[in-house]
Amino acid sequence: MARLAQTAGLTDVQQEIVSTVRDFVDKEIIPVATELEHRDEYPQQIVDGLKELGLFGLMIPEEYGGLGESLLTYALCVEEIARGWMSVSGIINTHFIVAYMLKQHGTQEQKDYFLPKMAAGEIRGAFSMSEPGLGSDVSAITSKAVKDGDEYVLTGQKMWLTNGGTSSLVAVLVRSDEGHPEGTPPHKSMTTFLVEKEPGFGEVRPGLTIPGKIEKMGYKGVDTTELIMDGLRIPADRVLGGVTGRGFYQMMDGVEVGRVNVAARGCGVAQRAFELAVAYAQQRHTFGKPIAQHQAIQFKLAEMATKVEAAHAMMVNAARKKDSGQRNDLEAGMAKYLASEYCKEVVEDAFRIHGGYGFSKEYEIERLYREAPMLLIGEGTAEIQKMIIGRRLLEEYRFQG
């Protein structure tokens, strides 16, 4: 599908990267995605292929062995990958957020140690804020770090770690009371720890357990887990940036670029749903003509394509704003909100156009229908995006009286 979701002003290198990824998606991902997803099977061969393409180091600076590409290039690649299978974009996303946080906030030693291995895909990242009792309200985190000599001792339970089992490095946000007197606001008494571990399940490091995969309605193939810390000892030099109390800001910075990424996923899934619907509508006949010739169906296709275009434009705008070095929380919040809502609506319309066959597991739209809801939740729900957007608007449009 060439006509929709074009991006003006890309360099030759960007065009080359995005079209290479698109080819890979068409040949290596789309043909196997639905079968692997139904089996909830980790797509090892696809991941190996992405490693070879250098996708794990796309935004890591060249001096650390990455490709040093922009957020826009990254987001366009994610859009292509999600068009093939959203779970695969999830495998890259947490890795990308952790690499970004290291690049922005890590000490020199942390960057030198982690980034080259992350660029090669040898170390794979996950990030962990959510707990069983909280997701939106990050300030309510109860997991704790207590200083003990040159180490910190971490205790608590984390929830919903994408790539919790397959990763070997988890950026974990906990409350750290050390150095922060009673009454310090919650966001100033949190610290991100860089926790290395063995991939897999069970006790993956003394004091650290990954119990197993959470069973999900969609977004299968990629593992989502809990993480239990019980006297987990982490050396002080694995505090991200070397200073405690900055974790909340570091994580919010990571989530901000993550939101562009989720918007890009919404764009990719919606594009695929449109492709499936527009093809099906021209093959299925009712009342003596292809259903695409009924105006009601044509109107649906028109609405879907308009949503695909609008979401893509907002996602590209948010990525470009960040790439220009400016704060993009407003644009990222809007793009994430719009792209995820539109994705759900476009998928729903594609499902309706498939009639009864949309309900059959033999049709790809069945998988997309179960995947789209995750985008309404991940990296902040619609309500949280609206809170961010609203707050920022009131700052920008402050009433002067």
Ligand X SMILES: Cc1cc2nc3c(=O)[nH]c(=O)nc-3n(C[C@H](O)[C@H](O)[C@H](O)COP(=O)(O)OP(=O)(O)OC[C@H]3O[C@@H](n4cnc5c(N)ncnc54)[C@H](O)[C@@H]3O)c2cc1C
Window contacting ligand X (CB under 6 A); options: 199-207, 324-332, 356-364, 374-382: 374-382
Contact status: 219 vs ligand X (CB under 6 A) = yes
Contact status: 170 vs ligand X (CB under 6 A) = no
Give Cα separations from 42 to 78, 90, 147, 267 (angstroms).
Answer: 18, 12, 38, 23
Site string for ligand X, 286-325 (x = CB under 6 A): ----------------------------------------
Output the residue with the shortest Cβ distance to ligand X: 135
Sign of CA dihedral 110, 111, 112, 115: positive
Contacts of 211 (CB under 8 A, 6+ apart): 201, 202, 225, 226, 228
From 241, 380, 385, 389, residue interacting with ligand X (rule: CB under 6 A): 380
Q: How many helices (H) and strands (E) does the chain have?
A: 11, 10
Query: In the complex with ligand X, which residue's Cβ is closer, 171 or 301?
Result: 171
Residues in the chain: 401
Window contacting ligand X (CB under 6 A); options: 48-56, 148-156, 299-307, 372-380: 372-380
Contact status: 337 vs ligand X (CB under 6 A) = no
Q: Which class for 61: exposed (0-12), middle (13-18), buried (19 or more C-beta within 10 A)?
A: middle
Number of residues that bind ligand X (CB under 6 A): 22
Smallest distance, ligand X to C-beta of residue 214, A: 8
Contacts of 118 (CB under 8 A, 6+ apart): 56, 57, 60, 95, 98, 99, 102, 124, 125, 169
Cα 190 from chain centroid? 22
Any idea which residue has 């309605």 for tokens?
Answer: 217
DSSP calls for 36-71: HHHHT---HHHHHHHHHHTGGGTTS-GGGTS----H
Show contacts with ligand X in window 223-282 (CB under 6 A): 224
Side-chain-facing half-sphere of 92: CA atoms under 13 Å: 32
Contact status: 376 vs ligand X (CB under 6 A) = no
- How far is 124 from 91, CA to CA, in rounded Å? 9
- Residue 213 in contact with residue 159, Cβ under 8 Å? no
Window contacting ligand X (CB under 6 A); options: 40-48, 59-67, 129-137, 194-202: 129-137
Show contacts with ligand X in window 64-123 (CB under 6 A): 94
Window contacting ligand X (CB under 6 A); options: 73-81, 184-192, 294-302, 376-384: 376-384
Query: In the complex with ligand X, which residue's Cβ is closer, 170 or 234?
Result: 170
Query: In the complex with ligand X, which residue's Cβ is closer, 61 or 373?
Result: 373
Smallest distance, ligand X to C-beta of residue 240, A: 15
Contact status: 374 vs ligand X (CB under 6 A) = yes
- How far is 68 from 61, CA to CA, in rounded Å? 4
Smallest distance, ligand X to C-beta of residue 199, A: 15
From 34, 73, 89, 162, residue interacting with ligand X (rule: CB under 6 A): 162
Type and span of the H or E element at 174: strand 169-176
From 65, 177, 381, 392, residue interacting with ligand X (rule: CB under 6 A): 381
- Residues annotated as catalytic are 379
- How far is 289 from 324, CA to CA, in rounded Å? 50
Contact status: 136 vs ligand X (CB under 6 A) = yes
Residues that bind ligand X (CB under 6 A): 94, 127-130, 134-137, 160-162, 216, 219, 224, 374, 377-378, 380-381, 383-384
